[in-house]
Structure 1
Amino acid sequence: MTHDIHIIGGGMAGSEAAWQLAQAGYRVRLSEMRGGAGGDVTAAHRTTDLAELVCSNSFRSDDAESNAVGLLHQEMRTLGSLIMREADAHRVPAGSALAVDRDGYSGGVTAAIAAHPNIDLIRERVDTLPAGPAIIATGPLTAPLLAQAIGAETGEESLAFFDALAPIVHHDSIDMDICWRAARWDKGGADYINCPMTKDEYLAFHAALIAGEKTEYKEWENVPYFDGCMPIEVMAERGLDTLRFGPMKPVGLDNPKTGRWPWAVVQLRQDNALGTLWNIVGFQTKLKHAEQVRVFRMIPGLQNAEFARLGGLHRNTFIKSPVLLDPTLRLKSAPHIRFAGQITGCEGYLESAAIGLLAGRFAAAELAGDVISLPPPTTAFGALLAHITGGADVATYQPMNVNFGLFPPLELTKKTGKADRKRMYSARAREHLGEWITALPVHPRQPVPQPESV
């Protein structure tokens, strides 16, 4: 078969991209190194199935009315997602969440891809960047030689191998009656939100950090501690005042309510262009998620904090997408190549698959000679895409799940409750997605019949 496009990586993003292109009538070469003649495997996988779930079997909330990831589920179903089709087919009881029989699900994806007449599934490792149209969707465990090739093309400083994730808080959940905005020594603008602590508050917080339950690294992660991503609790263990001379130092920060420096200060820095999300500076952590919520709500001003992302430290390979990619996921320095999935810096199974879906549709439109139409930023697709390709702070860019903090703000009143606000985001997204789909050009190729679900 002569191929129109080469996709590297058979995870969730690569499989979804291949499916979208094949359904549009294009011939796809899908390269997956697991199961090849060389016996290539990764330390995280246990099978050779496509779209294998290496951690949880949950796709998280399926509530499209009040949860951003549930809304993303719905949008993916609307656009004919293979990943969602097989997830729905292999669903297991999990309340309002969508959880799957992991072997049945990945087996279903593999069978559908293998049976599609427009897809050649090749078990091979690819070590160099393709010369023709391609999508790279190799995920967090990109093979070393291909990672080197990506680094050579983009610049080594644009390729990261570890997530050092600080928690991110929704701005409207920060108590500004306690906090204030200022930069240290009043240099520059009022760029930080400052949360002051008394000595007693600091001592209680320090003790909670040390006592909090931590997650363990997986055997294959081998994540080092280095100065740029030292977990906050590890710093706390080094001495009672280590944090006060590090990320929580109060010097140069006059609390306008007292006129004095606090005993310690937690600072938040704006994380997206919309100003709806703020990260807790220097607070990357291995605390378990429930512990993070409990401990970080001890910080004055964050007692009612809603978290868009919790902290962590993981092995991961991802590029600085806001710098390197254009709005259609093309590599600016080599526009015949698109990136998709976790390697772009999105976090989560469905987020990875969604970016794969968009990459596949963008590539199909480009091959057809159509003008590429971007999903509105008010949709889950559009909000996630905008964050990856330009909405994030480049200097602090780290992987992110889809959440309503990525969406353009609504016109709200103080009386608008949290549940109502989420429903309003979802309703607006559905309306705008429908308008976008209606305006899409009719593809010149007839889609091939969808193979039966196996």
Structure 2
Amino acid sequence: MTHTLHIVGGGMAGSEAAWQAAQMGVPVVLHEMRPNVETFAHRTGHFGEMVCSNSFRSDDNEQNAVGLLHWEMRAANGLIMSAADHHRLPAGGALAVDRDPFAETVTARLNAHPLISTSFEEITELPDDGQWIIATGPLTSPGLGAAISAETGAEALAFFDAIAPIVYADSIDMDQAWKQSRYDKGETEDERTAYINCPMDRDQYEAFIDALLAADKTEFHEGETAGYFDGCLPIEVMAERGRETLRFGPMKPVGLTNPHQPDVKAYAVVQLRRDNALGTLYNIVGFQTKMKYGAQTDVFRMIPGLQDASFARLGGIHRNTFINSPTLLDDQMRLRSRPNVRFAGQITGVEGYVESAAMGMLAGRMAAGEILGQPVDVPPNTTATGALITHISGGAEAKTFQPMNVNFGLFPPVDGLKGGRRGRKDRYKAYTDRAKIDWAGWLAQFALDAA
């Protein structure tokens, strides 16, 4: 008799897990507390709502680890990647997504699946029986977080994450700003002009840094000891590390030419990326912030071209929760102390939309396989998905475990290749070639099961 799989959390991981398990023929109940219980970052009750950036990062599946992960998720008929491709926005070599239609598509496809039902309630306890996946993400509710801490016997680890502001396009002064992707990347004109650029000379940059450092910022409560995820540092924290840090980070001017002053090289450039298909909204790339709202408008309007900017959303900071997966989870993503419960997504210590969805895909297939009596093998660590699960289930050092994006440093070396920067392109291509063969081999087990 087929049993039902319960999944808590309707974000990237939970949505993907529900889809994958249902596609294997297992009934799923997807438990989501929104919109009945709100969070700091969410605006809707949709599944798969994007709350930070709208970018899935690089889509290059030959030279980039996250692009390879895109490829693997597409090969696995992933819901998240299918919806992302359907609502893709021009973004050079990156995969950027029109966030609201994307979430609406994810929601509609889950609601339409005959084996998926939804329950809008807050789950505050770890269940004793049945098959469950906890995919509540970085904004796990306090009640469930306390239950997880009580079960694991230790405080859940945490870090702080920040989101960037979004600007109305018609409030950007295009007499000062211009459209261009860095180094004119992209095959079409739309892709080559996917970003809006705002230039600064040295005096403007120095004044901006001064204002940034002096601005009122959100202070943490006494006892908050969590650090930041390095891939999403607030701009103020970057500026505190050195006055030139931003100019060599999100404000680097290289690969851009200002058509208003083609002979003048900007000292720094602020880039904005299209946030919706209509082109009416743009987010400020890399400008995650913990500045208070009033300070944000004052400081960001110092940017040439944004002096009259109108903001659809200001930035903010929130506390993210993740577990010490190398200690707590086995390679089937099960909680060692309670094996009827799996964890998936960002709460496991992976970072990024696609990484979260990939762990949801894996948890959904593994749970469905267990229910059906057809155990699912762990993917080879030579694949992007396999490298991630290997990392979080024991490959990482538990004492220093922190959230991690997929990267080639998680992959075992390819035999016969020499290291060094000169051979990096060949090395990365060897990684991706090997991964695609091994991923196809891993997926073959499901074709055999279906047969």
- TM bin, normalised by shorter chain, reads 0.5 to 0.7
RMSD: 3.7
1:377 is aligned, of 372, 376, 381, to: 381
* CA 418–334 in structure 1, closer or farther in 2 if over 3 Å, else same: same
2:425 is aligned, of 410, 419, 422, to: 419
CA distance in 1, matches of 2:319, 2:354: 19
* CA 215–437 in structure 1, closer or farther in 2 if over 3 Å, else same: farther
Q: Which segment is superposed worse, 86-95 or 409-418?
A: 409-418
The answer on 1:291 being equivalent to 2:288 is no
* CA 317–230 in structure 1, closer or farther in 2 if over 3 Å, else same: closer
Q: Any conservation in 1 of the 2:158–2:226 contact (CA below 8 Å)?
A: no
Where does 1:247-326 land on structure 2 (aligned, <5 Å)?
286-287=237-238, 291=245, 294=248, 315-326=319-330
The answer on 1:16 being equivalent to 2:22 is no
1:328 is aligned, of 332, 340, 345, to: 332
Instruction: Report how many residues are paired.
Output: 336
Partner SS, residue 238 of structure 2: coil
Partner SS, residue 63 of structure 1: coil
Gaps of 5+ in 1: 166-209, 232-278, 280-284, 296-310, 447-454
Partner SS, residue 66 of structure 1: coil
Q: What amino acid is aligned across from residue 331 of structure 1 in structure 2?
A: L
TM norm structure 1: 0.67
Which residue of 2 is the match for residue 403 of structure 1?
A: 407
CA distance in 2, matches of 1:420, 1:45: 41
Which residue of 2 is the match for residue 25 of structure 1?
A: 25
CA distance in 2, matches of 1:8, 1:403: 28
Q: Any conservation in 1 of the 2:323–2:347 contact (CA below 8 Å)?
A: yes
Q: Any conservation in 1 of the 2:29–2:118 contact (CA below 8 Å)?
A: yes
CA distance in 1, matches of 2:3, 2:11: 20
CA distance in 1, matches of 2:214, 2:121: 34
1:117 is aligned, of 109, 114, 120, to: 114
Where does 1:115-154 land on structure 2 (aligned, <5 Å)?
115-130=112-127, 131-154=129-152
Q: What amino acid is aligned across from residue 413 of structure 1 in structure 2?
A: K
Query: How much does 1:227 deviate?
Result: 9.2
Which residue of 2 is the match for residue 73 of structure 1?
A: 70
CA distance in 2, matches of 1:216, 1:410: 48
Query: How much does 1:442 deviate?
Result: 2.9
Q: What amino acid is aligned across from residue 150 of structure 1 in structure 2?
A: I
* CA 53–229 in structure 1, closer or farther in 2 if over 3 Å, else same: closer
* CA 287–5 in structure 1, closer or farther in 2 if over 3 Å, else same: same
* CA 215–358 in structure 1, closer or farther in 2 if over 3 Å, else same: farther
Q: What amino acid is aligned across from residue 101 of structure 2 in structure 1?
A: G
Deviations 1:304-329 (A, max 9, x none): xxxxxxx9996211110000000010
Query: How much does 1:436 deviate?
Result: 2.0
* CA 408–214 in structure 1, closer or farther in 2 if over 3 Å, else same: farther
* CA 215–439 in structure 1, closer or farther in 2 if over 3 Å, else same: farther
Q: Any conservation in 1 of the 2:5–2:368 contact (CA below 8 Å)?
A: no
Query: How much does 1:437 deviate?
Result: 2.1
Which residue of 2 is the match for residue 203 of structure 1?
A: none
Gaps of 5+ in 2: 163-208, 231-235, 250-287, 290-316
* CA 441–373 in structure 1, closer or farther in 2 if over 3 Å, else same: farther
Q: Any conservation in 1 of the 2:14–2:360 contact (CA below 8 Å)?
A: yes
Q: What amino acid is aligned across from residue 291 of structure 1 in structure 2?
A: T
CA distance in 1, matches of 2:215, 2:389: 31
Q: What amino acid is aligned across from residue 75 of structure 1 in structure 2?
A: E
The answer on 1:45 being equivalent to 2:50 is no
Query: How much does 1:372 deviate?
Result: 2.5
CA distance in 2, matches of 1:149, 1:423: 44
Query: How much does 1:370 deviate?
Result: 1.9
Which residue of 1 is the match for residue 52 of structure 2?
A: 55
* CA 7–229 in structure 1, closer or farther in 2 if over 3 Å, else same: closer
Which residue of 2 is the match for residue 251 of structure 1?
A: none
CA distance in 2, matches of 1:74, 1:84: 9
* CA 97–153 in structure 1, closer or farther in 2 if over 3 Å, else same: same
Deviations 1:184-239 (A, max 9, x none): xxxxxxxxxxxxxxxxxxxxxxxxxx9796799997xx6458696678xxxxxxxx
CA distance in 2, matches of 1:293, 1:359: 40
* CA 227–162 in structure 1, closer or farther in 2 if over 3 Å, else same: closer
Which residue of 2 is the match for residue 449 of structure 1?
A: none
Q: Any conservation in 2 of the 1:338–1:359 contact (CA below 8 Å)?
A: yes
CA distance in 2, matches of 1:354, 1:211: 41
Which residue of 2 is the match for residue 170 of structure 1?
A: none
Q: Any conservation in 1 of the 2:161–2:320 contact (CA below 8 Å)?
A: no
Query: How much does 1:402 deviate?
Result: 0.3
